[in-house]
A and B are shown apart, each in its own frame.
Chain A
Amino acid sequence: MSLRKLFVALFLLAFAFCPLALAQSVRPPDNAVNQSAGERAGVSNTLGSNSQSDYWRNLRGGVRGTVSIPDKNAGVMVQSEGWHWMLVRNGPLKKYGGYALGGVVALLVIFFLLRGSIKVESGLSGVKVLRFGAIARFGHWLNAIAFVALALTGLSLLYGKSVLLPIMGPHAFAALSSGAKFIHNWGAYLFIIGIIWIFLAFVKKNLPAKEDIIWIAKAGGLLTKGVHPPARFFNFGEKFVFWSVVLCGTGVIITGLALLFPFQLDFIPGELPVHKMQFASLWHAILALYLIVVVIGHIYIGTVGIEGSLDGMKTGYVDRNWAREHHSLWLEQLESHSNQKKAAGELAE
């Protein structure tokens, strides 16, 4: 045997996978190795002996493979968006949402300390004027109750883990949360009805008008005593609340419905259902947090902020002097109407 042949034989013995040895015994021989080096890679590996880093890196970008299970979306091995969704939800959303909520409460406390409850300056007249009929009030309170229920249960989903869980313990908090989920999922329908209701009831009175500009310029008279910019049925502040609730409320409803029926309703952009849910849940929370901030202001103004405001929604009637100070144009119109009617009545007699 030449030296060269001996070398080749040794080489094969040391490195090559030996099919003969396998054929003779089920157990691999002592000198067997996992796989042989060199040429074999080129044969078994159809991608060649090159780097596949691009191939694998693309998986992070959501490359879709095939699966034999029914859920074909499971063919996407990695959806890296989930990580970003989690970072936004646990990070900026929670943080800035918290700042906004804390901020509006702090502002209102400061406002209250400076301005107190804004009284009807000319005192209560005792004369009542009809402001909201029963249908309007019903719509408002339906929407209000649904909104508060949805807001509290939604907030507990976002902040409960940091605020309530440490106090309540895991089991009580989980029970509360599943109740909250139930209320949130079903209260949604009341809110949808409420939004449509208040839209139909109030939209005409909430169209922009030229008095709004003066009202904005004078900050609604909120900051200075004795200033009462003219306003029709609704002033700009009320219009702002109305359109916020109607527009953002619609956004919250659309994203909320997408989350309620995650695989059935398909109007949210996104490639995979899970991307749609991430998108919907973030916008749902952003719009809802904005609405909660606005509504906290609305509740303040309607209760402690301005004396006599709540009466309108409670009983339907407001004091004439309240109406004169806050909605002068409306009162004028109302009274000229009734004067006309009276005059017409007298003529007929």
Chain B
Amino acid sequence: MARMKFLCDAERCIECNSCVTACKNEHEVPWGINRRRVVTLNDGEPGERSISVACMHCSDAPCMAVCPVDCFYQTSDGIVLHNKDLCIGCGYCFFACPFGAPQYPQSGNFGSRGKMDKCTFCAGGPEEDNSAAEFKKYGRNRIAEGKLPICAEMCSTKALLAGDGDIVSNIYRERIVGRGFGSGAWGWGRAYPAGTSG
């Protein structure tokens, strides 16, 4: 079975925010929640890079490990999903997640959290596939329709890749070979800085 993964190619992402918009629209994500965001590093400076981030569907997911009601589950494709009927909005998954994926609608006074919401890799939740209940809680289930996540499909530069991890990394590897630079070798940035003989 394929292992679903996201990959954002920082050499391609132009911070157009198509992925963010497509996601919000596809799943009718409520106000105040962004399942996906684009982070720009060194904004406006040489070496600026942008990366689109959402839940990465971690293999050894800290959110799953820490949830006190154990409402997460990982599909056979490696997609990390959760059951909003069980979630108590404790915020622990948000404390634990390295990528800041879990978010909460404010429900009630004193900023108390509602049910956690995060990227589902367009794979819905535990409800029946593509049912109204599933759509209301988790958004569309494109995976069940045989489609890939809308963010990657909408990406204007194909920077954001989503799908079978082997295929995604093959595409990326081809790109890297084509670009033929630095290849991320350790220590080169320090030992042979840009502008020297390389």
Tell me the A residues contacting B by CB distance below 8 Å. 33-38, 40-42, 44-56, 59, 63, 65-71, 73-80, 82-83, 85-86, 89-90, 157-158, 160-161, 165, 170-171, 173-174, 177-178, 181, 185, 260-264, 274, 277-278, 281
* Chain A, Cβ-Cβ closest to B44: A66
Tell me the B residues contacting A by CB distance below 8 Å. 11, 15, 17, 20, 32, 34, 37-43, 46-48, 51, 53, 62, 65-71, 83, 85-92, 94-100, 110-112, 174-175, 178-190, 192-195, 198
Q: Which of A50, A56, A85 contacts B95 (CB 8 A)?
A: A85
User: Could you tell me if B39 and A49 are in contact, using CB atoms closer than 8 angstroms?
Assistant: no
User: Could you tell me if A74 and B37 are in contact, using CB atoms closer than 8 angstroms?
Assistant: yes
* Chain B, Cβ-Cβ closest to A157: B68
Q: Which of A45, A49, A77, A85 contacts B198 (CB 8 A)?
A: A49
A-B contact count (CB 8 A): 177
CA distance A41 to B181 in the complex (A): 6
CA distance A73 to B53 in the complex (A): 13
User: Could you tell me if B99 and A77 are in contact, using CB atoms closer than 8 angstroms?
Assistant: yes
User: Could you tell me if A281 and B95 are in contact, using CB atoms closer than 8 angstroms?
Assistant: yes
User: Could you tell me if B194 and A48 are in contact, using CB atoms closer than 8 angstroms?
Assistant: yes
CA distance A47 to B147 in the complex (A): 36
User: Could you tell me if A49 and B181 are in contact, using CB atoms closer than 8 angstroms?
Assistant: yes
Known: A37-B179, A78-B98. A50 touches B88 (CB 8 A): no
B196 to chain A, nearest CB (A): 9
User: Could you tell me if B70 and A170 are in contact, using CB atoms closer than 8 angstroms?
Assistant: yes
User: Could you tell me if B186 and A53 are in contact, using CB atoms closer than 8 angstroms?
Assistant: yes
User: Which 3 pairs across A and B sit closest by C-beta, in order of nearness?
Assistant: A48-B194, A51-B188, A41-B181
* Chain A, Cβ-Cβ closest to B42: A65
Q: List 13 A-B contacts (CB under 8 A).
A: A34-B178, A50-B182, A50-B192, A50-B193, A65-B40, A66-B43, A73-B100, A74-B37, A74-B100, A76-B100, A157-B90, A161-B68, A177-B68
5 A-B pairs besides A50-B192, A174-B85, A281-B92 with CB distance below 8 A are A50-B182, A50-B194, A177-B88, A261-B110, A281-B95
Known: A36-B178, A50-B193, A77-B53. A86 touches B39 (CB 8 A): no
User: Could you tell me if B95 and A34 are in contact, using CB atoms closer than 8 angstroms?
Assistant: no
Known: A69-B34, A262-B111. A41 touches B62 (CB 8 A): no
CA distance A50 to B48 in the complex (A): 15
Known: A52-B182, A52-B189. A165 touches B99 (CB 8 A): no
A37 to chain B, nearest CB (A): 4
List A contacts of B69 (CB < 8 A).
160-161, 165, 170, 173-174, 177
User: Could you tell me if A82 and B98 are in contact, using CB atoms closer than 8 angstroms?
Assistant: yes
List B contacts of A74 (CB < 8 A).
34, 37, 39, 100
List B contacts of A52 (CB < 8 A).
182, 184, 189
Known: A74-B37, A74-B39, A75-B39. A49 touches B98 (CB 8 A): no
CA distance A281 to B182 in the complex (A): 43
* Chain A, Cβ-Cβ closest to B34: A69
Known: A54-B189, A54-B190, A65-B41. A261 touches B111 (CB 8 A): yes
User: Could you tell me if A67 and B188 are in contact, using CB atoms closer than 8 angstroms?
Assistant: no
